[in-house]
């Protein structure tokens, strides 16, 4: 019998093994309709198929204590930053105060963020990435172009409205945000958002749903610019009515999609 440890029938949970609590095993592909007997030996799950008596080992995923400590420190840094940014304001909070409240040294903070702006986006990047992922999963090919665009952008309005204080600081600080440990991640997410818009518009152009002499990237940039400006106007209001904000955004995007049907004189330029 290979390995060490006692054989445990598959019906018995792994965490009831008499000698150790195992980590989560990698998925085993075998006879799914038959149980696997198994024992734990180091980082190996030794399994024996009751259908054919095959014996094989599978590497286990074990989270080290060091990894758990790193995750714990990161969560404490994020929580301290959120608490202080909300209670004192972004401008009046120092990186040193965040480190002290998180119970970590400045060197630990600098592992994740070089500046206070980096700390802000250490928090915000999580939400922005989720917005893009959720929007991508929600849009549908049978929906109209306008409906899909609004699904994407409304999800971002919703996110920024969850914490207006943090959002207003983030929207101000994201201008010219090109350097810092979190900058690459932020710009990658913004790039993903813009390309999500470009992909929708490209598809609509290819199908003849809309026609334009401009390319999809320029049309998407126009929609993105409208969103960026209107989001800031909306967040400056006392009453953040999501439906009203989305409706105002809709009317502006409709102008882009329907066009203004200008006469030649409206487009004349000197020289």
| 129 close to 123: Cβ distance less than 8 angstroms | no
Please write the tens of the pLDDT for every residue from 214-270. 999 999 999 999 999 999 999 999 999 999 999 999 999 999 999 988 899 999 999
> Residue 56: phi, psi to the nearest 5?
-150, 160
Kindly state the helix (H) or strand (E) to which residue 41 belongs, with its residue range: strand 36-41
The residue count for the chain = 271
Residue 166's H or E segment, with its range, is helix 164-173
Per-residue pLDDT at 63: 55
- Percentages of the chain per state (helix, strand, coil), in multiples of 5: 60, 10, 35
pLDDT digits 0-9 by tens, 139-188 = 999 999 999 999 999 999 999 999 999 999 999 999 888 888 899 999 99
Instruction: Decide: 48 and 38 in contact? Cβ < 8 Å.
Output: yes
* H-run or E-run covering 146: helix 145-162
How many percent of the chain have pLDDT more than 90? 69
Structural domains for the chain: 14-62 (no CATH), 64-112 (1.10.10.60), 116-257 (1.10.357.10)
Query: Exposure pattern of 78-96 as b/e (b: 16+ CB <10 Å)?
Result: bebbbebbeeeebeebebe
pLDDT reported for residue 22 = 42
């Amino acid at each position: 019998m290979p390995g060490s440890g006692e054989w445990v029938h598959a019906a018995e949970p792994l965490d009831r093994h008499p000698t150790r609590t195992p980590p989560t095993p990698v998925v085993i592909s075998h006879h799914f309709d038959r149980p696997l007997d198994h024992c734990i030996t180091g980082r190996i799950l030794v399994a024996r198929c009751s259908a054919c008596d095959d014996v094989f080992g599978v590497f286990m995923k074990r989270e080290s204590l060091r990894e758990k400590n790193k995750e714990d420190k990161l969560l404490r840094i994020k929580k301290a930053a959120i608490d202080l940014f909300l209670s004192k304001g972004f401008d009046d909070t120092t990186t040193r105060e965040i480190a002290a409240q998180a119970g970590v040294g400045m060197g630990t903070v600098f592992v994740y963020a070089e500046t206070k702006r980096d700390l802000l986006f250490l928090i915000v990047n999580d939400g922005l990435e989720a917005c893009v992922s959720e929007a991508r999963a929600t849009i549908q090919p049978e929906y109209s172009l306008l409906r899909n665009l609004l699904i994407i952008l409304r999800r971002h309005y919703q996110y920024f409205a969850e914490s207006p204080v943090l959002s207003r600081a983030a929207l101000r600080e994201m201008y010219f945000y090109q350097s810092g440990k979190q900058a690459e991640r932020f710009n990658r997410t913004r790039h993903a958002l813009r390309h999500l818009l470009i992909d929708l518009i490209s598809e609509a152009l290819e199908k003849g749903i809309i026609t334009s002499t401009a390319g999809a990237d320029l049309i998407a940039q126009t929609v993105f610019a409208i969103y960026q400006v209107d989001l800031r106007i909306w967040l400056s209001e006392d009453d953040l009515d999501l439906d009203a904000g989305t409706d105002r955004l809709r009317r502006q995007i409709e102008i882009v999609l329907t066009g203004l049907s200008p006469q030649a004189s409206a487009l004349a330029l000197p020289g």
